Structure 1
Amino acid sequence: MHRRTLAGIVTGLTLVATGCGTAAPADDADADPGSGKDHGAVEGAQEVAEPQLHLTTIDGTGTVAQLDLLEGSSAEVGRIGKPSAVDSDGRYLFATTADGVEIVDSGMWTWDHGDHFHYYRGEPTLLGTVEGAGAATVATGPLSTAGATGVFFAGSGEAVLLDNEALADGEVHELFRIETEPHAGLVAPIGDGALVTVAEGGEVTGLRYHDADGSPVDDEIPCARASGTITTKVGVVVGCADGAVLATETDGEPEVERIAYPKGTEAPRATAFEGRKSRPTVAALSGTTGIWLLDTRERTWTHLDAGVPLRQVVAADDEEGHVLALDTTGRVRVFAAGDGRQLATTEPLVDLSDAAGGVDLVVDQERAYLNVPAEGVVHEIDYADKARIARTLETPTAPSFFTETGR
């Protein structure tokens, strides 16, 4: 296997065709995300001995609150506009509202230093708004105090790259804002810049790398109908019609390769990816009952059939290879990544037909969390112990949207 830097992408993008159970050996170590300064420290925040895990919630009116999972204390943070969607990197919450994307800083974060972690605790705050029109697609990086966050507004076609170091200092600073034609696009941070979708007539044809000031670098990278992006331990994934593009960084230079779907596959493609933070393997829905697993370290796809209609899938990517799914009846199911066996299932935990806001399944190293907005609770699930409900947590406001912060 070999890669090409961006300068050689168009003339010969590396194609890695992978089947289930076959893997091309990775020829590089995982990217070290902790290469920034000061190990993630920010003035005014306290470095502590363990991750400061919280549930940060936003109700249907925009009231933001936090529940400390360690101490059990809770507090209201403030109020934003009425949210329609919320994304997170494990520290910040990016809430789509009528004004654009409003940013909440939970004040809790983990710095991944490759072979160890640093944990910080600060004050939660509302940072401000990234103005834009239409549905927003948010793409986050591995670190909350370094690198960047991408925001794409489908209504206006504006691609925005935010400076994470500035966010950590309490400021919303745009590294660039690029005007493109309106389309369902994305901005995927990598290196000092980002991959931005290229569209013609509203249909995405590929990606183009833009450096930190927004200047385009080289030509278009083929990626028809690009949809879905996530940052893994290895690099940045963008889903394409025929597989995925994986962008990595070596000596400050972005490099791109393609991971094709297994030859002859007829399974529906992946259009959105989810996985435990700082792990190489991510999961995606494939049609109604299928699950795609993409191992970015081995550059392989694996397809599983859950046998039941699913709403969401997340790869825990732990030693046992757990894959979690929320099915359409409100049950959480646990599968084995290796052979797709169902290992455990819960009773129905949420009525999805009556769920206001965004019901979401969030996974960390030991637990999964599922919000039930109508009941004002979040279930904490021990997925390695037969999907046992470890706790049912009452949140200070209705968890119409939520995430686990401090990760």
Structure 2
Amino acid sequence: MTSRPLLLLPAALTIAALTACSSAPSAAPSTAPTSGDGDGHGHGHGHGAIAGAEEVAEPPLGLLSIDAEGNTAVLDLLTDEAIDLGATAAPTALASDGRYGFATTDEGVEVIDSGRWSWDHGDHFHYYLADPALLGTVPGDGPATVTSGALSTAGTTGVFFAGSGEAVLLDNRSLSDGRIDELFRIDTGADTGFLAPVGDGALVTDGDGLTYRDRDGEAVGAPVECVDPAGAITTRVGLVVGCADGAVLATWHDDELATERIPYPADASDRALTFDGRKGRPTVAAVAGTTGFWLLDTRERTWTLVPTERPLTRVVAVDDAEGHVVAIDVDGRIVVHLAEGGAVVGATEPVLADGGSTASLVVDEQRAYVSDPAGGVVHEIDYADGARIARSLETPTAPAFVTEVGR
């Protein structure tokens, strides 16, 4: 097996990046908490560091995989080292914020710490390695929707259980210390919805739209109008929530929630139901029915509908300088488009069964990773080189569910 090329920084640049925080302030994502909670100063988590973690010079990328029985492992993408983490209950879904895996099971949500993360400090990043661990279970009933914030060692993570209608806000600092700490748990009375972190609390779906709740679970301010909310994602600019007529963009300024609407174009028909994009970028993508895909630029507050030749099952915006968008179409091909105009710059042969409906898709700044559960591998896609399959990786466990960690 050929290792992914190392991204080595010149020594002077590495030292400069690691020392810049002490002398120059920089902008953090607007959804991240501010003051002591935001950067961890005074709490042992400065710049994303935690006790026992090693700071490294580049992203410690890996693939976290779980098989159908719950056996869990990490494959290091730089060294090919396989790390066994033990077993969870049998999973039915997997979400991730780039460090933690959140596996839905019949018992609730199992939290898996990969021990790999990146800390976004605005104009540069810090990268960390620590011992991975299975942290335990957030009890709950039914399918779980997990929505992450901007940072893994600060802020919060939201979980919504469709079976019970319960919404739970988890403290990320406690997770980084190996503990599951529920800041609040409320019964929404709904069988669909989500809890999406922003600022010092979270937006929670309710019968009338969205309610902002603080870290104690108390409702704050007037409800936020959003008809039929579906899909939430944290971007570089703020939290995006999909609505029937567009999106709500929620940001946190001067310890207060600010929201604004981004309406669909007048001739829009198929709405966005889920969003996906490279972590920490302003532009996200969503499947637009059978037509193609939407791009939502949260910095410009604009929607763009990009028609495609075939309907898509998954789409992720890379949001790099070239504007790559990686998708899976109904024929099981991995297709790379350009955001500007939607031109296809590469596509694989059909490699995924069932149109890729059971495949996972995640992107970083160089590669996309697409799981092929039927084939028992994960395809590493060089999306800047015509959708070339750079490697087909055998993960330590069968890849029923896979995500990339260390991002």
Q: TM-score, normalised by structure 1?
A: 0.89
What is the rounded CA distance, in whole Å, between the counterparts of 1:383 and 1:405 in structure 2?
A: 19
How far 1:306 moved relative to its partner? 0.7
How far 1:289 moved relative to its partner? 3.1
What is the rounded CA distance, in whole Å, between the counterparts of 2:366 and 2:32 in structure 1?
A: 22
Alignment partner of 1:237 out of 232, 235, 240: 240
1:213 corresponds to 2:216? yes
Name the aligned partner's letter for residue 232 of structure 1: T
What is the rounded CA distance, in whole Å, between the counterparts of 1:299 and 1:90 in structure 2?
A: 25
What is the rounded CA distance, in whole Å, between the counterparts of 1:212 and 1:343 in structure 2?
A: 45
Aligned position for 2:296: 294
What is the rounded CA distance, in whole Å, between the counterparts of 2:29 and 2:206 in structure 1?
A: 28
How far 1:208 moved relative to its partner? 0.4
Aligned position for 2:154: 146
Q: Which runs of 5+ in 1 are unaligned?
A: 1-27, 200-204
Moved over 4 A (4+): none
Aligned position for 1:8: none
What is the rounded CA distance, in whole Å, between the counterparts of 1:172 and 1:30 in structure 2?
A: 24
Aligned position for 1:31: 30
Name the aligned partner's letter for residue 272 of structure 1: T
Identity of aligned residues (%): 59
Cα contact 1:186–1:197 (8 A) shared by 2:
yes
Superposed CA offset, 1:326-362 (max 9, x none): 0111111111111111111111121126x7x941111
Name the aligned partner's letter for residue 107 of structure 1: G
Aligned position for 1:394: 394
How far 1:121 moved relative to its partner? 0.3
Aligned position for 1:327: 329
Instruction: Give the 5 Å matches for 1:3-402.
Output: 31=30, 33=32, 35-37=38-40, 38-199=46-207, 205-262=208-265, 264-352=266-354, 358-402=358-402
Residues 31 and 180 (structure 1 numbering): CA distance in 2 closer, same or farther, change over 3 Å?
Answer: closer
Give the match's secondary structure for 2:252.
strand
Give the match's secondary structure for 2:174.
helix
Cα contact 1:382–1:389 (8 A) shared by 2:
yes
Q: TM-score, normalised by structure 2?
A: 0.89
Cα contact 2:28–2:121 (8 A) shared by 1:
no
How far 1:183 moved relative to its partner? 2.0
Number of equivalences = 372
Residues 374 and 29 (structure 1 numbering): CA distance in 2 closer, same or farther, change over 3 Å?
Answer: closer
Superposed CA offset, 1:7-30 (max 9, x none): xxxxxxxxxxxxxxxxxxxxx996
What is the rounded CA distance, in whole Å, between the counterparts of 1:340 and 1:80 in structure 2?
A: 41
Name the aligned partner's letter for residue 68 of structure 2: G
Name the aligned partner's letter for residue 366 of structure 2: E
Q: Which runs of 5+ in 2 are unaligned?
A: 1-26, 41-45
CA RMSD of aligned residues (A): 1.5
What is the rounded CA distance, in whole Å, between the counterparts of 1:113 and 1:33 in structure 2?
A: 11
What is the rounded CA distance, in whole Å, between the counterparts of 1:253 and 1:189 in structure 2?
A: 13
Cα contact 1:223–1:241 (8 A) shared by 2:
yes
